Every structure is written in C-alpha cells, then in structure tokens.
A and B are shown apart, each in its own frame.
Chain A
C-alpha cells in the first residue's frame, strides 16, 4: 500500500521530468535536486507558516521564481545541443546541492507530521497524513491531466512534444511554451519533495535516489505519455514491494532493472510511447 503512495509521488516527479524531457529534449540532471529543494523549503516553511498545506502553495511560487531564469538564461541558449544542456544541468545540480549543504546543513532532519491521526487498516496502523498525501497527489495528477488535455495551453505543450518545428511554424510562441513547461516540470518535482518530506528525511543528497527512478519511469512509461508515466510509476513501486517478499533486496532491485530492459527491448518507445514520426 505504501508502495502505491510512494508511486504517486514518483509519478508526480516523473511527470515533471517527462514534460521537460519530452518538450525540451533535455536530460535534466538537476531534477532530483529540485525535488530536494522542495523538501528543504517545506522543512523551513512548515514552522514558519504553521500550516503544511500553505507550504504546498508557497513552494511552487518560489520554485517558479528559481526555474524560470534557469530556463531562460542557462538552458535556452543550448537548445538542440543535448549533451551541453545536460552538463549545464549538472552544473546547476552542483550549485543546488552545495547551496543546500551550506544553508540547511549536512544533517538529515525529520519534519513533524502534518496530521497527527492514525488509522487502523487490516491490523496495521497507518498514519493519516499518508492518505492525505495520496489524495493530494491524485488531485494534482488529475489537475495536470485536465490542464494538458482539456485546456488550450495543454494543447500547446502537447503539440510541442509532438513536433516542435511544426508547432513553431503554426505560430505557437515556442519560447513561452518552453519556459512554461520547464517551470511546470520543476514545480511538479518540488511538490513531490514537499509531499515526500514528512514520509522520509530531508537530506541535501536526497534527490539522487529519486532522480534515476524518475528517469526509469519516464522511459518505461513512454516519453510524453502522462498515462504511461503514471502506470509505470505505480507498477514499478508496487512491483518492488511485491518482489522483496520473495527475493532479497539486491535481487529484487536487479530484477526490476532487468524487467525494464526487457520492456525496452520489446517496446523501445516505452509502454505507451508515441511512435516515431
């Protein structure tokens, strides 16, 4: 069950990555660190604002202020040069990590529970806020779905994923789409961090564990497919939990990787990926 909750958070992060990856073609090595920044901000904002849920609103604003200039001044100049952009994001990753270490410090700290209620399910006691986190994740995922598939902005983004040159030729202001997408993707990662902060410990390197998993989910689910990302995130996280019941931890992690590779061999575009045009 916890695998599902964690899967929802990973889905949020992976979705952000999929948007950045899909629209901008960027392998964003700093994506995990944006997740970390979200968690660190939540850690500071919670006692400041007295309300965890307010943090959920404030953090996206702060992240937008950080992310927009990054896109405009660091990433956009290297458009089309994927290796260069990737290394630029590595530089940003260094900066974010060391900034967190210098301010927040090197000691992993725990956030207080946002909701101190427990439920008893199937003989096991669950903290209440886990359900809240799951609920919020689902709400946000639904909101993103509506945004992408039911609004005109969403159409713009999806068109850019499909074919950027065509989109530009059709008069879409690609620059605005790029900034918007990057900000949206980063905000999703940061919100993932805010939601994860009460469940895990906040540490300046916490992004590293999440980043690779998010990339895997994006690839397996298929670039640019929201549904694919969701399915991949939930199934991978639950699968690991199931496997660990029979295999030892190393074997189950290796098994997950092998499953992934097999999926990619059979369907090189991912489970729900768009076919190459």
Chain B
C-alpha cells in the first residue's frame, strides 16, 4: 500500500536524521530532541491503544509515572544499575497496565475513557500523598549510575551518551512495534478497530486482544517515563497528573493516528512550540489550541495522515 510505504519511509528518514542530529546540534537543541525522542516512545505506545484498537484511554499518566518511579526508586533505594532499573520500570508498567486493563478494557467506549481517567486520578492522589515514597509534588532527584559499572565514562551525564541511549530505545521500540503491527497480531488489532463485532464473529476474543494492546501501550509508556526520569534525574508526583494523560492523545491526533511514526510529528510540533514559542509569547498554548483546530479541520487523520493520504479516507 502506497500510504504505508510513505509512512515507513518517513520513519526511516526521521531515524537517520535523528542519528545525525545527535552530533550536529548545539547542546540546547540537543536536549530538546532527547525529550522529543522520549515522548515519541510514549506516543507510539499510545498509538497502539488509540490508533490501532480505538481505545481512547485517559489514564496513561499512570504508566508514565509508574515507569519513572520504578526507575528512580530502583536507582536510589535499591542501588540498581541503570539497565536493571529500566527493567524494573518495564515490569512495573506491565503490572499496572495489566491490572488497569483487566478492569477497563471490557467497558464500552465512553465509560472506558472516564474510568481510566478516574483510576489514574486516584493514583495521582496517592502519589501526592505518599511523600515518603514519591516525594510528593516536590519530587525526588537522584544520581544516575553509569550504563556499565566497568566503563564509567558511559554515563548519562555525558550529553552524547544520553542522546544515543535514548535514540537506541526509540529505534528498538519502533522496530519492535512495527514488527508486531506487521504480524498477524497487528492485523487483528486493525480489524478490531474497524469492526469489533465482525472480529468477534470471526472468532477472535476481542477483549483479550484489546487487553494485549492496552498492556503494550502501558509498557512503552512506562519505558518513556523511566527514560524521562533518568534524563531529568528527577521524578515527581506531577508525572501522574492528568496533563500527561492528555498529551499522548494530542500528539497522536495531531501527528496521525494508526501510523506509529506519525505521532512523532505531533510530539515534535508541540515540543517545539513549548520550547520556542513560549519565549516570545507566554500564551503559546492559545496559538497551539488554534493550531490543533486547524490541523484537525484540514485532516481528521492528523498531519501525517494528510500528507500520505492526501485527505482521502
């Protein structure tokens, strides 16, 4: 399919560009691109949920925060190395998304949206309250150990190492998710999105596949939360707030749902706006809100959807 080919080409070109930017960019812009890459992982995972199985969750901040704290607490309290800490974060993300998924995935559309929001709000509340564990909204800051105990130079405190460490995970996430979507699993997701009843009649356990998609998106949300905490060397209860649940949806819809890489555009656009426009216009969100409306008006499928489909459905 021509469209799919264009999306893949876009993704590969972006990855090559990102690989080069790491050495070429000045340090300020480099830090921004690291953040864009981290959020892109989050957005890709969320696209599995929203774009591929049509589950509009408002609770993904829970996984983002859980991943962040899983990593930071592993480093601070359990004195784990960096890679094991990420492993813990992924495990925590898996557990949270599995449990939340069990409760929510079977709910019908509108209820799913609200219940995920409510449960996520509970966790935000708990995180704010349990300061002994989370530091509340003041948060916890930690010293990050080097990637390998033997090579101490390979530490995230080196901006290049930090950049390529995150890039590595973006690359891996993209490859893993593309593989999954290309496999029969992906096609089942899409058929569930297009017509759940028909998928059901074809013999697929729709709820189970929706759960799989949900858990996948939760794992990648946790991964991005962990990378975020490691890059900022900081985690706070704020990571559980509603803001982080709304952002992935904005990213995906602006960039293009159901494309995996389209959301990178959404991430980039929002991050660039926040970084640059806020300096000359404090109320940049107002402009961004107008931009959202314009983009959605021009193409319901977001920017990449428009570029690859020329607006045709």
User: Which A residues are closer than 8 A to B by beta carbons?
Assistant: 21, 25, 27, 29, 74, 77-78, 81-84, 86-88, 90-95, 97-99, 101-102, 208, 212, 215-216, 218-219, 223, 250, 253-254, 257-258, 260-261, 264-265, 268, 276
Contact = CB atoms under 8 A, between A and B. Distances in A.
A25, A82, A219 — which one has the most chain B CB atoms within 10 A of its CB? A219
A261 B289 contact: no
Contacts of A219: 110-111, 114-115, 118
A92 B294 CA distance: 11
A77 B297 contact: yes
Contacts of A84: 253, 296, 300
7 contacts: A27-B56, A82-B109, A83-B249, A95-B289, A215-B114, A223-B110, A254-B125
Interface of B: 50, 54, 56, 103, 107-111, 113-115, 117-119, 121-122, 125-126, 128-129, 242, 246, 249-250, 253-254, 257, 283, 285-286, 288-293, 296-297, 300
Given A216-B114, A250-B126, A264-B111, A92 B289 contact: yes
Contacts of A99: 283, 286
A217 to B, nearest CB: 10
Ordered nearest first, which 6 A-B pairs have the shortest CB separation? Answer: A94-B289, A91-B292, A98-B286, A95-B289, A98-B283, A91-B289
A98 B289 contact: yes
Contact of B286 (A74, A81, A102): A102
A218 B285 CA distance: 28
Contacts of A78: 296, 300
A87 B50 contact: no
B242 A212 contact: yes
Contact of B125 (A74, A216, A253): A253
A208 B129 CA distance: 19
A212 B114 CA distance: 9
A261 B54 CA distance: 22
B296 A94 contact: no
A218 B110 CA distance: 11
A57 B103 CA distance: 44
Given A102-B283, A102-B286, A94 B129 contact: no
Contacts of A86: 56, 113, 249
B253, B288, B297 — which one has the most chain A CB atoms within 10 A of its CB? B253
A258 B50 CA distance: 26
A219 B121 CA distance: 15
Given A92-B289, A257-B121, A25 B110 contact: yes
Given A77-B297, A78-B300, A81-B300, A95 B290 contact: yes
Contact of B115 (A21, A29, A101, A264): A264
A88 B114 contact: no
Contact of B253 (A87, A101, A212): A87
A91 B254 CA distance: 11
Given A81-B300, A83-B50, A90 B250 contact: yes
B189 to A, nearest CB: 16
Contacts of B297: 77
Contacts of B54: 83
B251 to A, nearest CB: 10
A101 B126 CA distance: 30
Given A87-B253, A90-B292, A82 B56 contact: yes
B148 to A, nearest CB: 41
A265 B102 CA distance: 12
A94 B285 contact: yes
Given A86-B56, A91-B293, 8 more contacts: A27-B56, A92-B293, A94-B285, A94-B292, A95-B289, A212-B118, A212-B121, A265-B103
Contacts of A102: 283, 286
A268 B128 CA distance: 29
